[in-house]
């Protein structure tokens, strides 16, 4: 990867993405899925939560069946007679909401703590980094599982549990990058100009530390979505009132052995495509933005 | 070394203490402990008796000390479901989980190492590209869904392997294990594969990166200059160098396997601690939940400690820094 001088972060990323057809396809899929989730109420053939729209006589129909009202269920129906495609679009909405919210909140928390650790140094630094090491020593899914087991399920509890297990990755990367940057000449120059510490941190150090944060952020969103699905599948994640993809798959699991494959296979495929494309984009971004960033 | 060890032990004790506080706060302080500790159909007399025995009228810190005291002596109360000490139930189930995780660990090395070496020696070829894309796929496959698909394909459609349960176990050297019988191994195959897939992906990536970083080094050039075959250079010299980080990461990843065993055991109805905790959460069997969390956290602390010690033995620079 060659770096052109004067090229911005966005331009550099975009150029790097264009050089890899695989990453471009993955990015297109990501955008497409996000738009589908955003406009789910407009494009879904049915509102899966509107009891009037659901016909119980249409329950457990295989893909391609035509329902009593004349609607075609391209991906079949679930045990309640819901159109699978519509349920998946709404599920995607929930999954993406939880994944993105958790990712962004973890990014903000981790970045702030990492910056503080790097800037303040001393005991604060030691304390924060010890905690980071501690968090990284435990697998995220296990800690999230324990938190939810203790405190019960719920959308915001899931999000907070995910933030709690992910902030450490951002904090470590942020602190590392900030320490490297603050030793450079331009920061020295900014100090000589008498700029306030806040201003140096926010408008000089932070922007130059963005590349690793973006890479980790992308990967962590994928992790969040997968973790939420797993927790919901286990019955300790989201409540049944907000069925994410994980919960849809859990419902399909009940009837999988009876041969009603579509209730779990299709939502699972959607989840896989979503997580896989985000990971491919993240992997490519890592190659572009920081060739030596460790996984 | 002694200072290093002492410091780590102190840190470990601190983490355990912190966990116990969180568990205590979650289970005892938030909500009504009686609601949580008693089965739903408990009578008023039972309630009064438990309230008195837990001295719930005592101030919170004092209650915590009581909780910590009984926890330290291994007393987490009786499981509501099994009506036996919670800790005993967990230790009874632990061998099944360990068997599953060890098999998965061995599978991940047996498959991941060769694929990683292959990809690493052929950078930017179709082989490398396919293996690396495959490994991203391995990371992305949601473990629970992948398990369901394995059951659907190999148990329902092809009928090759049993879908759930542990099968018959036999004794090898006095240990009750699935390896002793063909039926046991057949039952073990699908869940172990399911658990191993994500780790295979990880081992592939680690090995590939290691190979690519090691090949340009001087000692490899010297080995070539000595006329050693590429095969020998790769299998002896390069492998020896990259195994250190892989083994350490795998130590930590063993913990991650224990975590994901919860998912795999739930899907394959494998009678280990992972399935136990999910069943216990659904049955509101709090003594088991509390005991499980503290046992697992202790296990992790021990694993992390052992890995750190091993690492400092293998690489003295770590000791110097700590």
With CB atoms and an 8 Å threshold, state whether A276 touches B296: no
Q: Nearest Cα to B128, choosing from B116, B137, B140, B139?
A: B116
Digit-coded pLDDT (tens) for B235-290: 877 887 787 777 777 777 787 788 888 889 988 888 888 888 888 877 777 778 88
pLDDT at A99 over 90: yes
Q: Return the higher-pLDDT residue of A13 and B171.
A: A13
Interface predicted TM-score of the whole assembly (ipTM), two decimals: 0.78
pLDDT at A196 over 80: yes
Partners of B172 in beta bridges? B175
Q: Which residues of chain B neighbour A295 with C-beta distances below 8 Å?
A: 205, 209
Question: Closest to B137 (Cβ–Cβ): which among A222, A253, A276?
Answer: A276
Q: Return the higher-pLDDT residue of A57 and B33.
A: A57
Please name the helix (run of DSSP H) or strand (run of DSSP E) that holds residue B50, with its range, or none.
helix B44-53
Please tell me the distance in Å from A114's CA to the nearest CA on chain B: 21
* B261 to chain A: closest CA residue: A142
Please name the helix (run of DSSP H) or strand (run of DSSP E) that holds residue B172, with its range, or none.
strand B170-172
- Please indicate if any CB of chain B lies within 8 Å of the CB of A22: yes
Please tell me the distance in Å from A165's CA to the nearest CA on chain B: 13
Please tell me the distance in Å from A285's CA to the nearest CA on chain B: 14
Q: Which of B20, B134, B145, B165 to mutate to test the interface with A (most CBs of A within 10 A)?
A: B145
pLDDT at B103 over 70: yes
Question: Closest to B152 (Cβ–Cβ): which among A130, A256, A271?
Answer: A256
- Please indicate if any CB of chain B lies within 8 Å of the CB of A189: no
Chain A segment 107-166 residues within 8 A of B by beta carbon are: 130, 134, 137-139, 141-142, 145-146, 149-151
SS3 of A145-192: the string is: HHHHHHHCCCHHHHHHHHHHHHHHHHHHHHHHHHHHHHCCHHHHHHHH
Please tell me the distance in Å from B237's CA to the nearest CA on chain A: 23
Q: Which residues of chain A neighbour B277 with C-beta distances below 8 Å?
A: 149
For chain A, percent helix, then strand, then coil, each to nearest 5?
Answer: 70, 0, 25
With CB atoms and an 8 Å threshold, state whether B259 touches A130: no
Angstrom CA distances, A170 to A209, A215, A228, A253, B272, stand at 11, 10, 19, 35, 34
pLDDT at A294 over 50: no
With CB atoms and an 8 Å threshold, state whether A230 touches B144: yes
Please tell me the distance in Å from A72's CA to the nearest CA on chain B: 26
* Averaged pLDDT for residues A141-156: 83
What are B234-239's contacts with CB under 8 Å, separation 24+? B234/B117, B234/B121, B238/B210, B238/B211, B238/B214, B239/B117
Digit-coded pLDDT (tens) for A30-78: 999 999 888 888 887 777 777 676 776 777 777 777 777 767 777 777 7
The band of A2, judged by pLDDT with boundaries at 50, 70 and 90, is very low
The per-residue b/e assignment along B177-186, b for 16 or more CB within 10 angstroms, e otherwise, is bbebeeebbe
Q: Nearest Cα to B51, choosing from B65, B37, B64, B62?
A: B37
B97 within 8 A of B265, measured Cβ to Cβ: yes
């Amino acid at each position: 990867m060659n770096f052109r001088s004067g090229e911005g972060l966005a331009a550099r990323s975009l150029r790097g993405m264009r050089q890899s057809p695989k990453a471009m396809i993955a990015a297109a899929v990501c955008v497409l899925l996000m738009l589908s989730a955003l406009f789910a109420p407009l494009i879904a053939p049915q509102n899966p939560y509107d009891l009037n729209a659901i016909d119980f006589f249409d329950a457990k129909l295989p893909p391609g069946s035509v329902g009593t009202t004349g609607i075609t269920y391209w991906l079949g129906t679930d045990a309640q007679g819901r159109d699978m495609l519509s349920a998946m679009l709404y599920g995607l909405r929930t999954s993406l909401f939880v994944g993105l919210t958790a990712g962004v909140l973890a990014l903000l928390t981790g970045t702030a703590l990492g910056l503080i650790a790097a800037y303040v140094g001393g005991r604060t630094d030691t304390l924060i980094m010890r905690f980071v090491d501690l968090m990284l020593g435990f697998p995220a899914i296990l800690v999230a599982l324990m938190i939810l087991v203790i405190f019960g399920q719920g959308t915001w509890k899931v999000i907070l549990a995910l933030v709690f297990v992910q902030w450490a990755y951002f904090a470590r990367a942020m602190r590392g990058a900030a320490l490297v940057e603050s030793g450079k000449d331009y920061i020295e120059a900014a100090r000589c100009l008498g700029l306030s510490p806040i201003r140096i941190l926010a408008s000089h150090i932070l922007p130059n530390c963005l590349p690793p944060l973006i890479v980790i952020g992308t990967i962590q969103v994928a992790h969040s979505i997968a973790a939420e699905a797993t927790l919901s599948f286990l019955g300790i994640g989201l409540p049944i009132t907000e069925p994410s993809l994980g919960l849809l798959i859990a419902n399909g699991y009940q009837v999988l052995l009876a041969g009603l494959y579509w209730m779990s296979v299709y939502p699972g495929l959607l989840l896989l495509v979503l997580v896989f494309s985000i990971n491919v984009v993240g992997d490519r971004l890592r190659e572009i933005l920081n060739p030596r960033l460790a996984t | 070394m002694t200072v290093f060890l002492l410091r780590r032990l102190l840190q470990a004790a601190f983490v355990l203490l912190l966990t116990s506080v969180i568990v205590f706060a979650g289970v005892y302080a938030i909500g009504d402990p009686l609601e949580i500790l008693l089965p739903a159909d408990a009578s008023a007399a039972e309630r009064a008796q438990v309230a008195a025995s837990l001295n719930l009228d005592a101030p919170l810190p004092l209650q915590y000390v009581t909780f910590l005291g009984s926890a330290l002596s291994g007393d987490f109360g009786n499981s509501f479901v099994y009506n036996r000490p919670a800790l005993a139930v967990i230790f009874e189930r632990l061998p099944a989980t360990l068997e599953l995780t060890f098999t998965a660990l061995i599978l991940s090395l047996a498959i991941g190492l060769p694929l990683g070496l292959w990809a690493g020696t052929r950078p930017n070829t179709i082989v490398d590209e396919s293996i690396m894309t495959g490994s991203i796929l391995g990371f992305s496959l949601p473990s629970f869904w992948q398990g369901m698909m394995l059951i659907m394909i190999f148990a329902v459609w092809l009928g090759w392997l049993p879908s759930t349960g542990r099968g018959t176990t036999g004794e090898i050297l006095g240990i009750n294990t699935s390896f002793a019988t063909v039926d046991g191994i057949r039952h073990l195959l699908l869940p172990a594969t399911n658990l191993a897939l994500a780790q295979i992906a990880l081992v592939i990536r680690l090995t590939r990166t290691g190979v690519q970083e090691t090949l340009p080094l001087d000692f490899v050039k010297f080995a070539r200059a000595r006329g050693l075959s590429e095969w020998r250079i790769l299998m002896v010299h390069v492998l020896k160098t990259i195994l250190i980080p892989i083994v350490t990461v795998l130590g930590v990843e063993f913990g991650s396997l224990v975590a994901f065993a919860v998912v795999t055991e739930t899907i394959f109805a494998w009678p280990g601690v992972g399935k136990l905790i999910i069943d216990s959460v659904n049955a509101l069997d709090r003594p088991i939940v509390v005991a499980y969390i503290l046992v697992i956290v202790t296990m992790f602390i021990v694993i992390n400690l052992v890995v750190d010690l091993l690492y400092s033995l293998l690489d003295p620079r770590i000791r110097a820094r700590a």
